[in-house]
Amino acid sequence: MKSRLQFREDHSFKIIQFTDLHVGPDIHHEKDARTFKLIDDTIRAEKPDLIVFTGDQIWSEGIDEPGITYRRILDHVSQYDLPFAVVFGNHDSEENITRLELHTIEKDYPMSLSESGPKEINGVGNYTLTIQSSESDHNEAILYFLDSGAFAPDSVGGYEWIHQDQVNWFVSESQKYEAIKNNPIPALAFIHIPLPEYKDLLQDGKFSGNKGEDVSSPKINSGLFTAMLEAKDVMGTFVGHDHDNDYCGKLYNISLCYGRVSGYHCYGDLQRGARIIQLYEGERRFDTWIRLDNGEKISYYSHSENKG
């Protein structure tokens, strides 16, 4: 039976977002050892209710048995007996393993809440999780997870986009949950590759945090952000992919946030860390900050919504 997500008695719910771990196959690699220490230190300090991995957990290209590497990560996090959820990145299934095979590995872990999602739509890992009230089994928050794929066809180039059937799935799920309460339920979304709107956010300069590289969003804008805007449930989206970006900012009442790169076995000038997200039961707001590998907390950001 899957673990139940529930707001605490103080009406809070805390999530750790680890992104771009890029763990390799060498079990004695010093950089990966530092990544695992960061995971340990962050979990012990923040005591989360849920751990979310937002893609590029492993290197798979040129690796004979990438599934073994993936199990090392899941074995490690499972020692804390905390629920965790996953979306995949473009590097997770480049060679010798598929997304579905990675998900099959996850099913061996009782605390995994990940789902493969509907077979009839693009991607592996389009699913929702609900966070229930501190006092009942009523859903008080929704977490959306979407597979942003890997690489676009050569005729387009760049990175894959969220496909139309995934957007339709999101709309259907949102409407289903809204019908239960006759009102949009506060929600967050977790994706690996940033949406094109992460570029739009930069144009007005209303963001905080680091913008150390260009936004590597897909060339095709398939309308997921518009669907979220019209659904009025998603308060914020959280992505990875661009290791030198960790900014947050609000675009049309939706906060667009990067995680902080958590892995050492990859490019990037930013000090490694993780993003912490705290939700509040019955409120359309959240707080988020970055915990660095030295324990310092930085980049506090609060989301609250405008009236009307």
pLDDT at 308 > cutoff 50: no
Express the helix, strand and coil content of the chain in percent, nearest 5 each: 25, 25, 50
Mean pLDDT to the nearest integer, 105-128:
98
Write the CB contacts of 201 (distance below 8 Å, at least 6 apart in sequence): 207, 247, 249, 250, 251, 256
CATH code for position 282:
3.60.21.10
Query: For the chain, what is the mean pLDDT?
Result: 96
pLDDT of residue 307: 47
146 φ, ψ (degrees, to nearest 5): -130, 140
Query: What total number of domains does the chain contain?
Result: 1
The DSSP call for residue 195 is P
Look up residue 265 and give its DSSP letter: S
Note whether residue 248 is domain-resident: yes
Q: Residue 6: pLDDT band by 50, 70, 90 thresholds?
A: very high
How does 123-153 read in b/e, with b if 16+ C-beta sit within 10 Å?
A: bbbbbbbbbbebeeeebbbbbbbbbbbbeee
Neighbouring C-alpha atoms within 13 Å toward the C-beta of 243: 17
Is 43 in contact with 80 (CB distance < 8 Å)?
A: yes
- In-domain check, residue 7: no
Residue 6 covered by a domain:
no
Mean pLDDT of 94-118: 96
Chain segment 222-250, per-residue pLDDT in tens: 999 999 999 999 999 999 999 999 999 99
- Asked whether residue 4 is assigned to any structural domain, the reply reads no
Looking at residue 94, its pLDDT comes to 82
Alpha carbons 249 and 201: distance in angstroms, whole number: 7
Q: Alpha carbon of 165 to those of 4, 86, 122, 295: distances in Å?
A: 28, 20, 7, 41
Whether residue 306 has pLDDT greater than 70: no
Mean local confidence (pLDDT), 29-40: 98
d(CA 226, CA 92): 28
pLDDT tens-digit map of 247-290: 999 999 999 999 999 999 999 999 999 999 999 999 999 999 99
pLDDT at 1: 60
236: in domain: yes
Domain limits for position 237: 12-304
Q: How far is CA 116 from the centre of its chain?
A: 15
Report yes or no on 252 lying in a domain: yes
Task: Answer whether residue 2 is part of any domain.
Answer: no
Element holding 193 (H helix, E strand): none
Residue 77's identity, in one-letter code, is V
Summarised one tens digit per residue, pLDDT across range 152-193 is 999 999 999 999 999 999 999 999 999 999 999 999 999 999
Mean pLDDT of 72-90: 98
Assigned token pair, 86:
């996953």
Is residue 5 assigned to a domain? no
pLDDT score of 62 more than 70? yes
Q: Over the Cα atoms of the chain, what is R_g?
A: 18
